[in-house]
Amino acid sequence: MDIKIFTFNPFQENTYLIYDNTNECIVIDAGCYEQYEQTELVNFIEKNNLKLKKIINTHCHIDHILGVKFLKEKYNVDFIAGKNDEFLLNMAVDHAKIYGFKTQTPPLPDLYTDNLPDINFGNTTLDILNVPGHTPGHVAYYCKAENCVFTGDVLFKGSIGRTDLPGGNYDTLISSIYEKLLTLPEDCIVYSGHGDSTSIGFEKNNNPFLGN
């Protein structure tokens, strides 16, 4: 499995394109906002002869969904996210205005992570971990074969997700981290929604928000 990381939009959000030896790929948290960002993503897909199979999201905050409408219209593939984050999609235009930029109303999910045990493409399987707290419908995607997890805005290198936005809950977030993420292997690589990658073991030993 190969992972291409793009950093998009004014929030410096990490968009992940994952592909394997079948050339099938998925995009996690499509944050491409500017036209040049959309072009950069598409050019990578086409240059590497990849076939986009799914658009999946860890959660639906505005910075993580800015490219969903573009990709869905271009590639006509399913958009997958948590049912409990649907209200954020409905509020996306208003949220964009708050931060000083414009966006069109994003599509609603074709499928919900609530009804799926995992995500499959090519020869790759990602397990869906329910990790609410940053948002009510937040999930993480764990690839056991590659020993990595895509945590969105739940766990960062040296930090955790904020809980002061609509639907956030600090106690729920901490429980999600301890019960679903810190139980993963210590050498499991953590790919977050913003900033650098880290590992479960590093966060156990160094993250100041986790009782160390």
Q: Tens digits of per-residue pLDDT, 37-89?
A: 999 999 999 999 999 999 999 999 999 999 999 999 999 999 999 999 999 99
Q: What backbone torsions phi and psi does residue 22 show, to the nearest 5 degrees? A: -85, -10
Q: Does residue 121 contact residue 25 with C-beta atoms inside 8 Å?
A: yes
Q: What backbone torsions phi and psi does residue 124 show, to the nearest 5 degrees? A: -110, 140
Range of the domain at 187: 2-210
| Helical axes 35-47 vs 68-75, angle rounded to 10° | 40
Alpha-carbon distance of 159 to 170, in angstroms, equals 13
> What's the pLDDT tens digit per position in 160-184?
999 999 899 999 999 999 999 999 9
The contacts found for 125-130 with CB under 8 angstroms, 24 or more apart, are: 126/150, 129/180, 129/181, 130/82, 130/176, 130/180
| CATH code for position 187 | 3.60.15.10
pTM (2 decimals)?
Answer: 0.97
For residue 150, pLDDT beyond 90: yes
For the record, the structure tokens of 200 come out as 């479960």
Angle value at C-alpha 106, between 40 and 86, nearest 5 degrees: 125
If one counts the domains in the chain, the total is 1
For the record, the structure tokens of 148 come out as 């990595």
Q: What backbone torsions phi and psi does residue 158 show, to the nearest 5 degrees? A: 75, 10
Going by C-alpha positions, the residue among 11, 46, 43 that lies closest to residue 29 is 11
